[in-house]
Amino acid sequence: MLAFIQRFLGKAPSQEASEKHKEPDQYLLREVEKSNLIRKDQMDVVIQHLNNKINLNKTGNKLSADEKKELGINPRLQLTHELLAVLNENGRAQADPKTVLSSIAMKASFARSHDENIQNYRSMGLKQYEILGCKDDRECAWCKSMDGKKLSVNQSIKGLIEENCTCDSHCRLATVAVLN
């Protein structure tokens, strides 16, 4: 009942405190640590941004046309100094540096849902799950090759993705239960 009431009240303090210690942060942390596009000494700032505590894209401190020209950044992009400050040279060299952080968020979100889904398949007593690709041009060759494959519920798809997927931004493979 309390949880029910809290849902209506929005973010109750106790709820917010427990969220901080729940798994989502671990997934974000892992992706932030893995990224080779952000500055290691700025990881805390990146985590705050990804947890919506701050917004590096909305600081109002945008790069001027001259600054973008000097840095070789697409003049049509709207970028803030604060966003650039968390990226290393490779991160700044991305076609749109904003995608560095959104891609980390998407990777963390997919990793979390893969774990949750496989956990569910296991608790349902299932033995296998099937991989579903997106079947579009954005998908990498490995992802395409995985479409329709079946894996044991004891095998995590996450590790395979980390080792093999070369999709831009993030892997979009999904899984479904195999009911037999």
CB of 173 to Zn ion, least distance (A): 7
137 phi, psi to nearest 5 deg: -70, -20
| Residue 165 sits in the site that holds Zn ion (CB under 5 A) | yes
**CB closer to Zn ion, 57 vs 99:** 99
Helix ranges restricted to H, the chain: 2-9, 13-20, 23-34, 43-50, 65-71, 81-86, 89-92, 98-123, 141-146, 157-164
Q: Which of 83, 100, 171, 175 binds Zn ion (CB under 5 A)?
A: 171
| Residue 111 sits in the site that holds Zn ion (CB under 5 A) | no
CB of 176 to Zn ion, least distance (A): 18
Q: Which of 167, 174, 177, 178 binds Zn ion (CB under 5 A)?
A: 167
Cα–Cα distance, 30 to 112 (Å, whole number)? 11
CB of 65 to Zn ion, least distance (A): 36
**CB closer to Zn ion, 66 vs 137:** 137
Stretch of 16-24, 41-49, 104-112, 168-176 contacting Zn ion, by CB under 5 A:
168-176
Helix (H) or strand (E) holding 130: strand 128-132
**CB closer to Zn ion, 23 vs 168:** 168
Q: What is the DSSP letter of 87?
A: B
| Residue 118 sits in the site that holds Zn ion (CB under 5 A) | no
- Inter-residue contact 105 to 111 (CB < 8 Å): no
Stretch of 24-32, 48-56, 107-115, 157-165 contacting Zn ion, by CB under 5 A:
157-165
- Inter-residue contact 165 to 147 (CB < 8 Å): no
Binding mask of the shown chain, residues 123 to 142, with x at each position contacting Zn ion by CB under 5 A: -----------------x--
Helix (H) or strand (E) holding 175: strand 174-177
Cα–Cα distance, 83 to 79 (Å, whole number)? 7
Chain residues binding Zn ion by CB under 5 A are: 140, 143, 165, 167, 171
